[in-house]
Amino acid sequence: MTLARSLPDDATEWWIFLGAFGLYMLGRWFFAWRQARREGDAHPVRAAFAEEEGPDAVDAAPTGGFRSYRQFSGFVAGAVIVTLAAALTDGRLRVALLWVIVPLLIVALSYLDFRQARKARSAA
């Protein structure tokens, strides 16, 4: 258990975590903005920032905190891909692969979350 840590040790790791979270939020806002433009909203930026999932958004399903098996599968597949890329490569190739793969996975997960929220809103 010497490798397990709960929080980053230095500022660089904090910036990486904050950057991943920021990329996720930008992805969600972009997809909401694009949907509002398609629907002909007069103020798509306001619609993107005003997007809410409602009080029943958190649904404890058999998949844990995930609302669908697609979200759960996407998270697990992303974790496996990142683990394989980190384990099977070394040096500059590892850094290059992770700098490409991780942002793509984050945007893909934000798209899955956006689709799930849109489906929940349309059903309500």
Q: Residue 23: what are its φ and ψ, rounded to 5°?
A: -65, -40
What does the alpha-carbon distance between residue 84 and residue 25 come to, in Å, rounded to a whole number?
26
| Digitized pLDDT (tens) for each residue of the chain, 124 residues in all | 455 556 667 777 778 778 888 898 888 888 888 888 888 888 888 877 776 555 455 554 555 566 677 778 888 888 889 888 888 888 899 889 989 999 999 999 888 888 887 777 777 6
Of 24, 36, 48, the closest CA to residue 112 belongs to: 24
Asked whether 51 and 32 are in contact (CB, 8 A), the reply is yes
Instruction: Give 74's contacts (C-beta < 8 A, 6+ positions apart).
Output: 108, 109, 112
Q: Enter the pTM of the model.
A: 0.72
